[in-house]
Structure 1
Amino acid sequence: MNAHPDLTGRTALVTGASRGIGYFIAKHMAAAGAQVIAVARTVGGLEELDDEIKAEHARSGKGEATLVPLDLTDMPGIDRLGSAIHERWGKLDILVANAGVLGVIGPLAHIEAKVFEKVMAVNVTGVWRLIRSVDPLLRNSDAGRAIIMSSGAAHNARAYWGPYAASKAAVEALARSWADETKNTPLRVNSVNPGATRTAMRAQAMPGENPATLPHPSEIAANIVPLASPSLTETGLIFDARERTFLSYQMPR
């Protein structure tokens, strides 16, 4: 897999782009030449990203950003985003479904319904709505690439992580089904386990942890960007971003 893909002329939609791993995926993709459609709720973070991409563009002439303030619980807004991309570019080359929420770490029986529903709305329903909105656009690309952010929590199912673990298991199942549906097309769909990373979400989940012991999100993002390469052949797999390896889901049918 090409460690530094050339994304010149390619259009990439990145959700959760105002901070953490999504911020640096957007930044790295722009540096590789992509036109980045950066989606997030936090306008300030998007503007900071835009400033950095503009500064990089001034130096290298590569990459630009379009900022889209959007909450992924706004389902009609997701539909409008797909329509706007179609009107402006006619296709989408790369989807990075990175946005997600942790919810609350605690016993399942004590989780409030509104917390559980918010986790599922953002982490599962929002991703499905995004898939539905951009699937035709990715099929219009000569080498559509979908990167769906997951977590080791989907497989570990540790105590007190129920809502988040369930949401990530569900979104992996969506990605695998989508990959199987599109395996005979140029579209490649893979999930990513970023591993423990120095992000605000990780600090919320593990408040006693020393963040200096974790890799910076820029490092993890750099490992993920090659999944957008037009030369990628893998689909329907999970990518371990820390180890930079693909893991198979092969099961008896």
Structure 2
Amino acid sequence: MTDIDLKGRLALVSGASRGIGRALALELARAGAHVIATARTQGALEELDDAIKAAGGTTTLVPMDLMSEDGIEQLGQIVTDRWGKLDIMIANAGALGELTPAAQVKAKTWQNVLGVNLVAPARMIRAFEGPLLSSDAGRAVFISSGAASSRRAFWAPYAAAKSGLDALAQSWAAEHVNSPSLRINVVYPGAMRTRMRAKAFPGEDPNSLPEPAALWPLVAELVGPDCARHGEIVRFEG
């Protein structure tokens, strides 16, 4: 287990109800951070809360659809009013959409995939930049995908959205290249044992893939107060 002390730090994780988001939320709590966990599914968030409490951690649950008109902005104001800062932001929530020829992708799919993977993180930047800058060591991590660069056939919406996410995060990082406290990075998790991966590759043996928690040591490095990396796309090599 990665030895990192996050006691007294506040972390926000989107898409925290399952997969990578759930694993990272649990590890952050185990390391001592208070975790604000957001996801659409109330029941799954409550299961996460039980796991965090069993591990001796604390959490605030925020059932929320990232596509709602002003939910992200309202949460940003709540964080500002209640805590006055945010130490760690992990933009993890993702939507695969349908794997189909680009010419057959419906407008609703484009709106959902771009909305969840790109527009929501952009709104998170607007909502949480202030609280992150109020931290003595603000850390933002965006969970992207190798699909952003592989751009394989039939993956147009997801690949386009993740390519845009990379550009968004690195452009924002460039704005803060001289910041004394804010560090912004992108992570490519690679193939992991998640529901999204199973949907994309239904014939693959999930037992051949690492559990999402295997990503934690890499993310721990990026969210720790001593992290000096900034504006990078970091690939998990597990």
Q: Which of 126, 131, 141 is 1:137 aligned to? A: 131
Aligned equivalents of 1:214, 1:242: Cα separation in 2: 12
1:86 partnered with 2:87: no
Q: For residue 47 of structure 2, what is the aligned residue in structure 1?
A: 48
1:220 partnered with 2:215: yes
Spell out the pairing of 1:87-106 with structure 2 (5 A cutoff).
Answer: 87-106=81-100
Spell out the pairing of 1:1-253 with structure 2 (5 A cutoff).
Answer: 3-57=2-56, 63-185=57-179, 186-243=181-238
Give the CA deviation at 1:221.
3.3
Letter paired with 2:230: T
SS in 2 for 1:73: coil
TM-score by length of 2: 0.97
Aligned equivalents of 1:222, 1:71: Cα separation in 2: 29
Would you say the 8 A contact 1:98–1:149 is kept in 2? yes
SS in 2 for 1:100: coil
2-11 or 80-89: bigger deviation: 2-11
Q: For residue 247 of structure 1, what is the aligned residue in structure 2?
A: none
Would you say the 8 A contact 1:28–1:222 is kept in 2? no
Deviations 1:199-247 (A, max 9, x none): 000000001111011111111234322211000001000111235xxxx
Number of aligned residues: 237
Percent identity over paired residues: 51
Instruction: Tell me the C-alpha RMSD between the 2 structures.
Output: 1.2
Would you say the 8 A contact 1:94–1:228 is kept in 2? yes
SS in 2 for 1:33: coil
TM-score by length of 1: 0.91
Deviations 1:154-207 (A, max 9, x none): 000000111000000000101001111111111000000000000000000001
Give the CA deviation at 1:75.
3.6
Letter paired with 1:87: D
Aligned equivalents of 1:101, 1:157: Cα separation in 2: 16
Aligned equivalents of 1:8, 1:45: Cα separation in 2: 25
Give the CA deviation at 1:117.
1.0
Aligned equivalents of 2:237, 2:107: Cα separation in 1: 34
Aligned equivalents of 1:104, 1:222: Cα separation in 2: 31
Letter paired with 2:50: D
Would you say the 8 A contact 1:4–1:226 is kept in 2? no
Letter paired with 2:10: T
SS in 2 for 1:106: coil
Letter paired with 2:9: R
Aligned equivalents of 2:69, 2:228: Cα separation in 1: 31
SS in 1 for 2:4: coil
Aligned equivalents of 2:4, 2:221: Cα separation in 1: 6
Would you say the 8 A contact 1:25–1:225 is kept in 2? no
- Which structure 2 segments of 5+ residues have no match? none
SS in 1 for 2:55: helix
